[in-house]
Amino acid sequence: YKAKMIVDKDFIISPIDERLYGSFIEHLGRAVYGGIYEPGHPEADEQGFRKDVLSLIQALRVPIIRYPGGNFVSGYDWKDGIGPKDQRPSRLELAWRTIEPNQFGLNEFVDWSRAAGTDVMWAINLGTHGVEEARNVVEYANHPSGSYWSDLRVSHGYKNPHAIKTWCLGNEMDGPWQIGHKTAAEYGRIATESAKVMKWVDPTIELVACGSSNREMITYPEWESTVLDHTYEHVEFLSLHSYYGNHQNDTATFLGRSLEMEDFIRSVTATCDYIKAKKRSKKTMYLSFDEWNVWFHSNEADKKIEPWQIAPPQLEDIYTMEDALVVGCLLIALLKHSDRVKMACLAQLVNVIAPIMTENGGQAWAQTIYYPYMHASVYGRGNALVPIVQSPKYDTKDITDIPYLESIAVYNEESGEVTIFAVNRDLTNPLPLEVDLRSFGACKVLEHIVLENENLKAVNTASGPNRVKPHTLGNAKSDGSTISANLSKASWNVIRLS
């Protein structure tokens, strides 16, 4: 009973696009108000940005953040969030049934993202808006000056264009819950026409078309095929969304869900390539997995929320140790497909199904899932290497052939470091691992970080923010170019080598 892995610097899946470690902030619950923005908080700066939250985000090195939604965006008028704050309207927000006060909008988000050290992925409204607003918002954000919308931005105090490069053409337009839900053909047309004018305003931008909201949608994968038939030559990315839960308290299956994420990626890739062939196109479509996470803990509580409040607690999942393992497996799944998945967004970032939690007026802390996300983002830069893995496997009622070892290595040529990310899915036994690093020669173990806890349901809270935290007492050791380690049961491991 043992797992083996071969890591070779010449077996490259792909250089990893750093945007694989993106995240997402929606005007939903306390993500913005009480999360990243809370004027009057002791940690707030002069713009109302919470510095305690900013520093937790900076440590994650988040390269890009999708904003302002989500379902929210399909009813959002971006113009409500610009100009003097005392003149901005409060609106009924129909996606989440709240009041949106519009005290934080496009310009504030650009300022905030600069402070957080991240780029903006702006989603446009293709639910209630269309081609006209699509061009206007690009003109406002990205055109230098000398036109109505760009001069308006300048008059709002932003002389330089925001240079937002990445834009999503709507959100989950296949979902009947979406404001302005569309058929694939309707969406394909409006996305194409919006894409054209947006790129006429700013030819440097990149666009993401909406794929299916999840692979259980009845219209999947016909949706992808039809949408790409319309949009193929106008966009660079197709989106995927997927959330995972453990409603049945079946942890063995829950830990295997990343295999389904991989299947989803493979079939969307195949659909993209089918349209490429059909169109005799030379262009390869890339994937933006721009919503992924564990989401289920808050489902029941959310049914009881009174409508029309400002920033009530919504989707506040409190994550367990086992959720962190699932997030670790999902990160490895994304890395395994980094040749096609160039962007991905952990949904979301603060308070709403998020690695970071805050109290209004109080402290901010890291949830369990913060740690695998941080490790992947900080150490997972460079080339993703083909994981040649032999591992014992297990079956559950829903999924078969789940390897106990989920693993991948990343080689950073610049720093000369190799990092092995590994989850031991075995809930009762440690897993001996042997890694053959043949092409690297003798390697030294810099650090073996482990996230584990005797209680798989352990969580971090305001009163106990450090219950689940990584330690560096992992036992990886090197013998020339062979690394051996005993991976604790149910653990997330980061073995750093040079």
Positions touching ligand AHR (CB under 6 A) are 26, 69-71, 171-172, 213, 291, 347-348
Rounded Cα distance between 240 and 492, Å, is: 25
Integer distance in angstroms from the first to the last C-alpha of the chain?
28
- CB-CB contact of 48 with 101 (8 Å): no
- What does the alpha-carbon distance between residue 254 and residue 328 come to, in Å, rounded to a whole number? 12
Looking at residue 39, its amino acid is P
Among candidates 491, 411, 489, 480, which has minimal Cα distance to 450? 491
Residue 486 near residue 426 (C-beta atoms within 8 A): no
Residues 227/228/230/235 CA torsion (nearest 10 deg): 110
CA nearest to 208, candidates 46, 111, 60, 344: 344
In the bound state with ligand AHR, the residue whose beta carbon lies nearer, of 213 and 419, is 213
Residue nearest to ligand AHR (CB): 70
CB of 422 to ligand AHR, least distance (A): 28
Chain length of the chain: 498
Count of alpha carbons within 13 angstroms of residue 111, beta-carbon side: 17
Catalytic sites, residue numbers: 172, 291
Least distance CB 159 / ligand AHR (angstroms) = 33
Tokens of 152: 């308006």
Q: What contacts 12, CB < 8 A, 6 or more positions away?
A: 383, 384, 385, 386
Which residues are CB-contacts of 475 (< 8 A; sequence separation ≥ 6)? 448, 485, 486
Would you say 356 or 437 has its CB closer to ligand AHR?
356
Going by the DSSP 8-state scheme, the letter that residue 420 receives in this structure is E
Instruction: Specify the residue, 299 or 415, whose C-beta has the smaller distance to ligand AHR.
Output: 299
140 vs 370, beta carbon nearer ligand AHR: 370
* Number of Cβ within a 10 Å radius of residue 79: 18
* Complex with ligand AHR: residue 212 or 419, whichever CB lies closer: 212
Q: How many C-beta atoms lie closer than 10 Å to residue 343's C-beta?
A: 26
Q: Which residue has the tokens 């699509």?
A: 134
Nearest CB to ligand AHR, comparing residues 102 and 293: 293
| Nearest residue (CB) to ligand AHR, 299 versus 461 | 299
Which structure tokens are listed for 488? Answer: 């604790």
Q: Which is nearer to ligand AHR, 292 or 365 (CB)?
A: 292
268 to 122, 213, 216, 375: CA distances (angstroms): 23, 12, 13, 27
Per-residue b or e along 6-30, where b marks 16 or more CB atoms closer than 10 Å to that residue's CB: bbbeebebeebbbbbbbbbbbbbbb
DSSP string, 109-163: HHHHHHHHT-EEEEEE--SS--HHHHHHHHHHHH--SSSHHHHHHHHTT--S---
Nearer to ligand AHR, 74 or 338 (CB): 74
Return the CA Rg of the chain: 22
φ/ψ of residue 108, rounded to 5:
-65, -40
The residue among 171 and 351 lying less far from ligand AHR, judged by its C-beta, is: 171
